[in-house]
Structure formats: structure tokens, C-alpha cells
A and B are shown apart, each in its own frame.
Chain A
Amino acid sequence: QSALTQPASVSGSPGQSITISCTGTSSDVGSFNFVSWYQQHPGKAPKLMIYEGIKRPSGVSNRFSGSKSGNTASLTISGLQTEDEGDYYCCSYAGGNTLFGGGTKLSVL
């Protein structure tokens, strides 16, 4: 089982919206509603931002939203802020295993 595919980097200006894609297969993203997204700042542990594809944990800004279509999940961040800069990882249950994406570096210019 290969890692999920994410773009290596995305960028946006403060106030803009960006979307990060996460492409898997019919054996993982396409088959289960257990896709989560994690934010990681340098030197810090990952933080859960979205779970079960579309749900937001309490305390996470409603500027973060998730969606899924077929074998691809997406994370959208609206109203970009400088504090959103960091690495983002998708993660999917794959029937007995769990896979991470390769990660996407978000730059807020």
C-alpha cells in the first residue's frame, strides 16, 4: 500500500482560500469515511484539524473544512492567516492499515 498523494506545496496570500488534495485509491479514501487531516508546525506534534472527512474537532476554526469525492479528499482553508503556515497531512483508514499522505507545505505569503 502506497502513501496517499498530496501536492508538495501550496501557497496563498492572507485572506485567500486554498485547497489541498489527497488522492488515494478505492481501497482506502474511496472505501471509507475515515479521512483525517493534521496540521504540523516545525518542531511540534501534529494536530487534528478534520476527521471523518468533513468533521471539525471543537476548538478548530471553521475556516477549515473537508470534503471527499471518489478517491480524493480535500482540505480547504478559507481566509488564510499567517498562523496557518505549516505542513498538512491527510490520513486514511485502509482496512486493517492506515496511510498518511506525503504532506503539503503551506506557505502564506
Chain B
Amino acid sequence: EVQLVQSGAEVKKPGESLKISCKGSGYSFKDYWIAWVRQMPGKGLEWMGIIYPGDSDTRYSPSFQGQVTISADKSINTAYLQWNSLEASDTAMYYCAGCKDATCDYWGQGTLVTVSS
């Protein structure tokens, strides 16, 4: 069974750093792109960026370029989304998704990030 399991909910203060994870199993992790998608409270889905774990080729949406860092470690089938300095506006649910040809077949359960002083 294909699974993407994300790390647990986080509560952080503004200015703090954070790295959340997405671990794949049940398929060849290095052969599927992993996308990160943001969903702010009560809002729609936003594409943040995507990484190919096989060679770490990474593409960012212009809206998120420079705001976050996407990385992956294919040796442990895990992708990451990282912030250096969180803001309150980063409060959202973050999903990872396994994608091929711009089609995301598999989704993680989501990681809720809350940033509050």
C-alpha cells in the first residue's frame, strides 16, 4: 500500500525555525515527485513547490520562492519543508503529495502548523 506519512502538528512562535517531514512507503520514492501544498484556515489549496527525490531537482511556485526550502533524502524516503523564520501568516495545514506528470495520486494526512506568540 502506498503511504505518505507526515510529521505531527507543530506550535511555534514567530521568528522560530521549523522543518516538517513526509515519509513515503510502498512505492519507489525516488521515482515520484513530492509536492508541498498549503491550505490556510478556511481557504483553498496553494501549490508551494515540488522536488524529485531521485536528483533533488526542485521547483518553487513564485509565491513561495525564497520563503521556504524544500529538500529530500532519498536514502530514507523522506521529503522536507523548512522555514528559517516563521510568521503568523504561515499558520496553515501543509500537505505533501506524490505526483507524476503533474498528477498527484497520493497525499499525506497533513501537518498543522500554528504560529502564535
Contacts and interface: CB of A to CB of B under 8 A. Distances in A.
Contacts of B59: 96-97
A36 B104 contact: yes
Contact of B47 (A32, A48, A87, A98): A98
A40 B44 CA distance: 10
Interface residues of B, number: 21
Interface centre among B46, B95, B102 (most CB of A within 10 A): B102
A72 B14 CA distance: 40
B71 to A, nearest CB: 19
Interface in B92-110: 95, 97, 101-105, 107-110
Nearest to A51: B103
Interface string A29-45: 00010101010100001
B62 A48 contact: no
Interface in B71-117: 95, 97, 101-105, 107-110
A34 B101 contact: yes
Counting contact residues on chain A (CB < 8 A from B), the size range is: 20 to 34
A48 B104 contact: yes
Interface in A82-109: 87, 89, 91-93, 96-103
A99 to B, nearest CB: 6
A14 B95 CA distance: 31
B102 A34 contact: yes
A46 interface: yes
B103 to A, nearest CB: 4
A1 interface: yes
13 contacts: A36-B102, A40-B45, A45-B108, A45-B110, A46-B107, A47-B107, A57-B105, A87-B44, A91-B45, A98-B50, A100-B37, A100-B45, A102-B44
